[in-house]
């Protein structure tokens, strides 16, 4: 039996993790769950899975959840707040923690889980973007595994199995290109939130869907790959592959390229991360090669989709620059989703932040948290009219 905690249990990855758990209830047990506001989804999770602890970080939602269960006898302890979230992440009975919370707010719970000796099934890429070095050091110190859930990184992880790391030449990170592939900056001027949320291949949370439309998602994934697989940025190449069948590839020094393919369904990388190194019965549809008209590959357009270029630059610069990039992106995407800024303004805001903050070394987690705050405050003063 594998005991699982999910940080961000009500979102897209959280819900798909629950589907994987549901696929074999003799294999998995849900220990702890957390979410922000979605108390109704939390009610269903508690009723179905009886976890030991459920945490909400929104006070109103927490009160609603408590009042729903007021006269019912349940074994789940319901708690409120960030401290409780960290407690859930480090619950002693879990074997593995799925980090499916969105944004750099996932950094502290991830570190709490590592310090409690829990393996991490990592979906929350922002954590590695801002704190890759610290997370890796802590994971080494506490002897825990960081298992990638992101489909590309799950693919690369699989392509690396059984091979010598020194024989790897390049990591080839595939990207769908998002809903605006092939468009010019001029054509993107007036795109709507609805159009940006209409991803061609994947159904995901709203923040990552916008990141996919700007190609910032690929940029964050380049930095994520740098930390996960110990690769220099120049050897991590993004390739647009609109069908999302090849989930990424590893090129070896002898010229061999190994890819991992499957239908685009996050349940596979989630299941692989939960069970590594075991392979389980499929929880996804089989891939039918005869129904795929073609597999295409294109160079990403870095002049239009500047966020990807900025991410490479911030990653290369290191220090706090990835934190600045991520903070500005989280802030700008939020404004775009609230229809307060246009789509192209997202990369303008990120450019502004990257050019307004001096780089410095990260001493510890506090440096990241403080710099993140400074960037958000700077942008709030300037753009939140």
Q: Does 5 bind ligand NAD (CB under 6 A)?
A: no
Known binding residue 356? Answer is no
Beta strands across the sheet bearing 257-261: 236-240, 168-175, 246-252, 257-261
- Dihedral angle of Cα 83, 86, 88, 92, to the nearest 10 degrees: -120
- For residue 319 the two structure tokens come to 């220090």
Nearer to Mg ion, 138 or 221 (CB): 221
Options 52, 87, 126, 150; binder of Mg ion; rule CB under 5 A: 150
- In 3D space, the residue among 146, 77, 18, 134 whose CA is nearest the CA of residue 367 turns out to be 134
Stretch that binds ligand NAD, among 197-205, 257-265, 317-325, 337-345 (CB under 6 A): 197-205
- Per the CB < 8 A criterion, the answer to whether 360 and 367 are in contact is yes
- Per-residue exposure over 350-370, b if at least 16 CB sit within 10 Å of its own CB, e if not: bbbbbeebeeeebeebebbbe
* Cα–Cα distance, 76 to 78 (Å, whole number): 6
* Cα–Cα distance, 313 to 329 (Å, whole number): 15
- Per the CB < 8 A criterion, the answer to whether 101 and 126 are in contact is no
Nearer to ligand NAD, 124 or 275 (CB): 124
Q: With CB cut-offs between 5 and 8 Å by kind, which of Mg ion, ligand NAD, none does residue 236 bind?
A: none
Stretch that binds Mg ion, among 2-10, 150-158, 193-201, 345-353 (CB under 5 A): 150-158
> How far is Cα of residue 158 from the mean position of the Cα atoms in its chain?
18
Name the minimum Å distance from CB 276 to Mg ion.
Answer: 18
Q: Does 353 bind ligand NAD (CB under 6 A)?
A: no
Known binding residue 355? Answer is no
Query: Who's near 12: CB < 8 A, 6+ residues apart?
Result: 100, 203, 204, 205, 208, 266
Known binding residue 185? Answer is no
Name the minimum Å distance from CB 23 to ligand NAD.
Answer: 17
Q: Does 101 bind ligand NAD (CB under 6 A)?
A: yes
Name the minimum Å distance from CB 122 to ligand NAD.
Answer: 9
Options 80, 142, 202, 351; binder of ligand NAD; rule CB under 6 A: 202
- Per the CB < 8 A criterion, the answer to whether 160 and 229 are in contact is yes
- In 3D space, the residue among 314, 130, 351, 137 whose CA is nearest the CA of residue 233 turns out to be 314
Known binding residue 44? Answer is no
Q: With CB cut-offs between 5 and 8 Å by kind, which of Mg ion, ligand NAD, none does residue 45 bind?
A: none
Options 3, 4, 14, 110; binder of ligand NAD; rule CB under 6 A: 14
Stretch that binds ligand NAD, among 19-27, 67-75, 118-126, 178-186 (CB under 6 A): 118-126
Q: With CB cut-offs between 5 and 8 Å by kind, which of ligand NAD, Mg ion, none does residue 326 bind?
A: none
Options 52, 119, 126, 265; binder of ligand NAD; rule CB under 6 A: 126
Q: Does 211 bind Mg ion (CB under 5 A)?
A: no
Q: Does 301 bind Mg ion (CB under 5 A)?
A: no
* Cα–Cα distance, 90 to 230 (Å, whole number): 26
- Between the alpha carbon of residue 280 and those of residues 39, 97, 238, the distances in Å are 32, 19, 30
Known binding residue 37? Answer is yes
- Dihedral angle of Cα 349, 352, 353, 359, to the nearest 10 degrees: 150
Q: Does 126 bind Mg ion (CB under 5 A)?
A: no
Q: With CB cut-offs between 5 and 8 Å by kind, which of ligand NAD, Mg ion, none does residue 228 bind?
A: none
Residues at the annotated binding site for 1-deoxy-D-xylulose 5-phosphate?
A: 125, 151-152, 176, 199, 212, 217-218, 221
Residues at the annotated binding site for Mn(2+)?
A: 150, 152, 221
The residues of the shown chain that bind Mg ion, judged by CB under 5 A, are 150-152
Residues at the annotated binding site?
A: 10-13, 37, 124-126, 150-152, 176, 199, 205, 212, 217-218, 221
């Amino acid at each position: 039996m594998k005991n699982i905690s999910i940080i961000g249990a009500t979102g897209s990855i959280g819900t798909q993790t629950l589907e994987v758990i549901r696929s074999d209830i003799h294999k998995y047990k849900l220990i702890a769950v957390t979410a922000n506001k979605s108390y109704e989804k939390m009610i269903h999770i508690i009723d179905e899975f009886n976890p030991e602890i459920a945490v909400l970080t929104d006070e109103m939602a927490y009160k609603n959840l408590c009042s729903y269960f007021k006269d019912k006898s349940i074994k789940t302890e319901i708690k409120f707040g960030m401290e409780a979230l960290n407690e859930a992440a480090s619950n002693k009975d879990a074997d593995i923690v799925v980090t499916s919370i969105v944004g750099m707010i996932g950094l502290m719970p991830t570190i709490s889980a590592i310090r409690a000796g829990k393996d991490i099934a990592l979906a929350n890429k922002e954590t590695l973007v801002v704190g890759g070095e610290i997370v890796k050091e802590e994971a080494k110190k506490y002897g825990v595994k960081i298992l990638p859930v992101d489909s590309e990184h799950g693919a690369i992880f699989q392509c690396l199995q059984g091979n010598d790391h020194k024989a790897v030449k390049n990591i080839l990170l595939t990207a769908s290109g998002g809903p605006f592939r092939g468009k010019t900056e001029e054509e993107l001027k007036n795109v709507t939130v609805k159009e940006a949320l209409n991803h061609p291949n994947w159904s995901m949370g709203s923040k990552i869907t916008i990141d996919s439309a700007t190609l910032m998602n690929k940029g964050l994934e380049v930095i994520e790959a740098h930390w996960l697989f110990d690769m220099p940025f120049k050897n991590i190449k993004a390739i647009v592959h609109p069908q999302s069948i090849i989930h990424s590839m590893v090129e070896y020094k002898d010229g061999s390229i190994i890819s991992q393919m499957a239908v685009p369904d996050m349940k596979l990388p989630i299941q692989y991360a939960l069970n590594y190194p075991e392979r389980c019965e499929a929880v996804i549809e089989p891939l039918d090669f005869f129904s795929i008209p073609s597999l295409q590959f294109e160079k990403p357009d870095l002049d239009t989709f500047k966020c990807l270029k900025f991410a490479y630059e911030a990653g290369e610069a290191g220090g706090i620059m990835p934190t600045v990039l991520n903070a500005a992106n989280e802030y700008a995407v939020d404004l775009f989703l609230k229809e307060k800024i246009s789509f192209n303004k997202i990369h303008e805001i990120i450019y502004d932040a990257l050019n307004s903050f001096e780089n410095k070394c990260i001493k510890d987690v506090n440096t990241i948290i403080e710099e993140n705050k400074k960037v958000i405050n700077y942008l709030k003063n300037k753009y939140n009219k």
